[in-house]
Amino acid sequence: MDQLSPTEFASVVTAITSAFGDPTRREIYLFAHSTPIGVTASEVAEKFDLHANVARHHLDKLSAGGYLEISTERPSGGTGGAGRPSKRYRACDENMTLNVSVRQDDVLVKLLGRALGELGPDRASALAEEVGIEFGQEMAEAMGEQSTRSFRAALHSVADALSAHGFAAHAEKEGNSMRLVTEHCPFGEAVVEHPVICAVDRGMVKGMLGTLYGETRVDLTSAAAGSEDHCITAFDSEP
């Protein structure tokens, strides 16, 4: 197999990571690929200013897709290399093929939108939010965070977790309140045709905040399906 040119390699990386729906993951893969000995989650977290669990999530996604391989090594030095072993993530192959499959996520999201449309707006919205809440709870539990924390810290953790799932989210203060802004929707065009899918976002935020902090009223005030190019999840006031 001939080695890809830098341009071809960049095209493949873009295709691969666009399938994951997160531009940060592209940069993380390039970083891992450029480091022969591989990278650790803490190194990625430091370089890209991420929570360690978010960095690990990106690396595990790339590993699950077959683009990184994982090895476990004990630290060198000391007495017999004693210490906690660390996971290192290395690029699997210098030579990558251009066989990038059709995005299955696109097909599934289209199917989801069609199915929700058949249920009617009220039931579809309730179901989408229920699924989002359950998924958000699972995400928060997987982060291993403590539930006794400030609302602001919890919201920043929620933003990091959403970004790891392709939402490009950040938390910001507006007056006396906090809000969550997402500048990219991984559901793509399906949201324009089926705005009810936005209830999944709302549910995910509810589920994560409920686990990390406590039950919080969540109001998705504007969405990419409307005139805005981003979504804003608002909270009446900081609890």
Residue 120's CATH number = 3.30.1380.20
Q: Residue 9's pLDDT band (boundaries 50, 70, 90)?
A: low
Give the global pTM: 0.54
pLDDT surpassing 70 at residue 15? no
pLDDT at residue 53, rounded to an integer: 85
Computed over its alpha carbons, how large is the radius of gyration of the chain?
A: 20
pLDDT surpassing 50 at residue 122? yes
Highest mean pLDDT among 65-74, 106-115, 123-132, 214-223: 123-132
Domain membership of residue 230 as a residue range: 104-234
Q: Which of 184, 181, 154, 180 is nearest to 167 (CA)?
A: 184
pLDDT surpassing 70 at residue 193? yes
- In the 8-state DSSP scheme, what is residue 38? -
151 vs 166 pLDDT, higher one: 151
Are 70 and 108 in the same domain? no
- In the 8-state DSSP scheme, what is residue 209? H
Q: For the chain, what is the domain count?
A: 2
- In the 8-state DSSP scheme, what is residue 195? G
Are 222 and 117 in the same domain? yes
Structure tokens at 72: 């476990």
Are 82 and 110 in the same domain? no
Domain assignment present for residue 129? The answer is yes
Residues making up the chain, counted from first to last: 239
Are 208 and 110 in the same domain? yes
Rounded Cα distance between 60 and 47, Å, is 17
